[in-house]
């Protein structure tokens, strides 16, 4: 089932070491901009596939290969992290 | 001090189960004793990791049911074909241990500075993070107007009913499968007519939070956009089974 | 820090004694049928559905749904093994052997790249799909294959990890050189033999 980027907050934390659900992603295919929290995410599978909610093209793929996170971000034209101070 | 807090959030810590509360036949709230908890925002979630004797481990995410300053608690719905939820809702006892990481997620959160008026729409267990928002709003003394529209299969399935009934002026239920005799609330799925009665007009620049199963969230979000809520003022969190 | 054991927690399914011998390494038996996807479920209407064999940008042969259904099909019972470590034993499918489709085309290709609605691809050696162990399956467990499980038709290649059994398959691209498909590009093994536990690149 399709979820959204909220569902991979922990995985993104593993990979980027900062909170990323509010990071702004720009789709390389259609140019749509929005927080990772609002992307369409497929989590049950050999890996996690993050797709643009507007055009469905693949933004990111994350696979756990021999205990390491393998991350492909080539579907993103840009990814902007907003720093938050508590 | 901020640096220390960030570090705590990135790593797993051991949680000891405190009190458990049976909310409904299939839903349980679990209070967790987490000595190194850095605090959290309403709407955030945490990740739970369970490890079996043979080393097998499973991870799941659960929305935090409590407001910051209260003991950390999660509310778990038992899915009969699940692997973790039957364990958490039936087997788990006070004193048991699990690993927890969090809080996670800065997008689907609300604090008084985010303003309102607030429209919270819950489908089933999607009410959990919205209840944290309600609690946080109350504890902070915020007077931001708020309405909760809560869709549930039946009255028996409504989670936190006694607590939500405190706020009866601001809470509306819709029961989709069965209604008690004499039921004066809504029935059936959230639709345009229901929202016409509950949703703040777009002209008031409301902030909406929708949480529940994916089909529910998407149907409701579409209805709100049709009522001219800007997409940037509609925050969504989709739940999936595990 | 070693993880504390959560008292009383265990994995949901366990290999039963008799079945354990039938399992490839690292797998466990499941009785349900998990749905794993990399994208949204397509819903191509049957009147628009075609299956094609292509080579070098050219379509060599196409079947419409009625033409495909007219081909001789067989019912097979096979075990399937997902790289995410679940296995499902004695699953019953009905499908057309891929060999029957490939035989209708004159070619000397060594590899195929299966392509599906939604953009999914997976690569296989031709001999792995033309030797009688691969089907274009349209029924599962006596019923038309549900969209969430790849319907109207999917590839069924049970001797390899199940990501090679492409859901919503629409054709095969014949290739002289092997070309990695979707998961093969993201770290998964090019071949995927569960009995040699070839999960990842380099295994």
- Please, which residues bridge with residue B60 across strands? B48
pTM over 0.90: yes
Rounded CA separation B48/C9 (Å): 13
Cα distance from C36 to chain A (closest Cα, Å)? 5
Average pLDDT score, chain C: 94
Contact C61, C52 (CB under 8 A): yes
Q: What is the mean pLDDT of residues A1-7?
A: 93
* Strand ranges for chain A from DSSP E: 2-4, 24-27, 33-35, 40-42, 47-51, 58-65, 68-72, 76-80
Tokens of B203: 């002209």
pLDDT (tens digit, 9 = 90+) per residue, C107-133? 999 999 999 999 999 999 999 999 989
Handedness of CA B57, B61, B62, B64 (dihedral sign): positive
Cα distance from B105 to chain A (closest Cα, Å)? 6
- Evaluate whether residue A85 is within a structural domain: no
pLDDT at position B81 is: 85
Question: Cis ω on the peptide bond leading into residue A29 (within 30° of 0)?
Answer: no
On chain A, the residues whose CB falls within 8 A of the CB of C160 are none
Pick B104's closest partner by Cβ from A1, A13, A35: A13
Q: Which of residues 20-49 of A touch C (CB under 8 A)?
A: 40, 42, 44-47, 49
Distance of CA B208 to the CA centre of its chain: 14
Rounded CA separation B188/B196 (Å): 15
Residue B4 has pLDDT above 60, yes or no: no
Q: B147 φ, ψ to 5°?
A: -130, 140
pLDDT (tens digit, 9 = 90+) per residue, C24-60? 999 989 888 989 999 999 999 999 999 999 999 899 9
pLDDT at position B153 is: 97
DSSP letter string over B6-27? HHHHHS-EEEEEEEEEEEETTE
Query: Which chains share 3+ C-beta pairs under 8 angstroms with C?
Result: A, B
- Evaluate whether residue A86 is within a structural domain: no
Interface check C120 vs A, CB under 8 A: no
Contact B195, B223 (CB under 8 A): yes
pLDDT (tens digit, 9 = 90+) per residue, B157-169? 999 999 999 887 8
C132/B62: higher pLDDT: B62
Q: What is the CA radius of gyration of chain A?
A: 12
Torsion of CA C138, C143, C149, C151, to 10 degrees: 40
pLDDT (tens digit, 9 = 90+) per residue, B122-134? 999 999 999 999 9
pLDDT at position C11 is: 85
> Binning pLDDT at 50, 70 and 90, where does residue A86 land?
very low
Tokens of C32: 């349900």
On chain B, the residues whose CB falls within 8 A of the CB of A64 are none
Inter-chain CB proximity B52 and C7 less than 8 Å: no
Contact B67, B109 (CB under 8 A): no
> Measuring CA to CA, which residue among B60, B71, B62 is closest to residue B34?
B71
Residue B173 has pLDDT above 90, yes or no: yes
CATH no. of B2-104: 2.40.30.10
| Most confident among A19-28, A77-86, C24-33 (mean pLDDT) | A19-28
Distance between start and end Cα atoms, chain A = 34
Residue C17 has pLDDT above 90, yes or no: no
> Measuring CA to CA, which residue among B44, C198, C180, B9 is closest to residue A61?
C180
* The total number of structural domains that make up chain A: 1
pLDDT (tens digit, 9 = 90+) per residue, C51-110? 999 999 899 999 999 999 999 999 999 999 999 999 999 999 999 999 999 999 999 999
Residue B1 has pLDDT above 60, yes or no: no
- Only one residue has tokens 């048991």, namely B96
Q: Look up the domain containing A9 and give its range.
A: 2-80
Pick A66's closest partner by Cβ from C119, C185, C200: C200
Q: Domains for chain C: give ranges and CATH numbers.
A: 48-196 (3.90.420.10)
> Binning pLDDT at 50, 70 and 90, where does residue A12 land?
very high
CATH no. of B112-239: 3.40.50.80
């Amino acid at each position: 089932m399709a979820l959204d980027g909220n569902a991979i907050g922990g995985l993104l934390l593993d990979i980027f070491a900062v909170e990323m659900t509010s990071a702004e992603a720009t789709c390389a295919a259609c140019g749509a901009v929005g927080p990772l929290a609002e992307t369409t995410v497929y989590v049950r599978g050999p890996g996690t596939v993050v797709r643009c909610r507007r055009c469905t093209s693949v933004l990111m793929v994350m696979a756990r290969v021999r205990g390491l996170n393998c991350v492909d971000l080539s579907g993103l034209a840009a990814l902007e992290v907003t720093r938050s101070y508590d | 001090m901020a640096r220390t807090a960030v570090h705590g959030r990135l790593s797993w810590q051991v949680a000891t189960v405190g009190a458990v509360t049976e909310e409904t036949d299939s839903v349980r709230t679990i209070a967790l004793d987490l000595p190194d908890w850095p605090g959290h925002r309403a709407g955030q979630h945490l990740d739970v990791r369970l490890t079996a004797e043979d080393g097998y481990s499973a991870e799941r995410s659960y929305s935090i049911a409590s407001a910051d300053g209260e003991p950390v608690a999660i509310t778990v719905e038992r899915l009969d074909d699940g692997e973790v939820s039957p364990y958490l809702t039936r087997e788990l006892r006070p004193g048991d241990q699990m690993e927890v990481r969090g809080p996670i997620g800065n997008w689907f959160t609300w604090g008084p500075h985010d303003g309102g008026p607030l429209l919270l729409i819950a489908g089933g267990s999607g009410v959990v993070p919205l209840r944290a928002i309600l609690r946080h709003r109350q504890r902070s003394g915020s007077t931001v107007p708020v309405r909760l529209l809560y869709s549930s299969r039946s009255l028996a399935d409504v989670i936190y009913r006694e607590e939500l009934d405190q706020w009866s002026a601001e809470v509306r239920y819709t029961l989709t499968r069965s209604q008690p005799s004499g039921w004066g609330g809504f029935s059936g799925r959230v639709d345009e007519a229901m929202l016409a009665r509950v949703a703040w007009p777009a002209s008031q620049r409301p902030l909406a939070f929708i949480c529940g199963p994916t089909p529910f969230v998407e149907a409701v979000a579409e209805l709100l956009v049709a009522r001219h809520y800007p997409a940037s003022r509609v925050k969504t969190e989709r739940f999936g089974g595990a | 820090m070693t993880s504390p054991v959560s008292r009383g927690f265990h994995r949901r399914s366990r290999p039963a004694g008799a079945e354990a011998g039938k399992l490839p390494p690292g797998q466990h038996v499941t009785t349900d049928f998990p749905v794993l996807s990399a994208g949204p479920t397509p819903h191509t209407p049957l009147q628009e559905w075609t299956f094609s064999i292509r080579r070098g940008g050219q379509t060599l042969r196409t079947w419409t749904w009625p033409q495909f259904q007219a081909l001789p099909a067989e019912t097979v019972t096979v075990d399937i093994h997902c790289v995410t470590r679940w296995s499902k034993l004695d699953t019953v499918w009905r499908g057309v052997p891929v060999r029957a489709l490939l035989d209708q085309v004159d070619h000397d290709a060594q590899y195929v790249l299966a392509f599906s609605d939604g953009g999914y691809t997976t690569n296989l050696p031709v001999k792995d799909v033309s030797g009688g162990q691969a089907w274009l399956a349209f029924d599962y467990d006596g019923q038309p294959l549900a969209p969430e499980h790849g319907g109207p038709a999917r590839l069924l290649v049970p001797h390899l990890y199940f990501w090679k059994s492409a859901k919503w398959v629409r054709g095969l691209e014949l290739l002289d050189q092997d070309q990695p498909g979707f998961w093969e590009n993201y770290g998964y093994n090019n071949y995927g033999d569960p009995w040699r536990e070839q999960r990842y690149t380099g295994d």
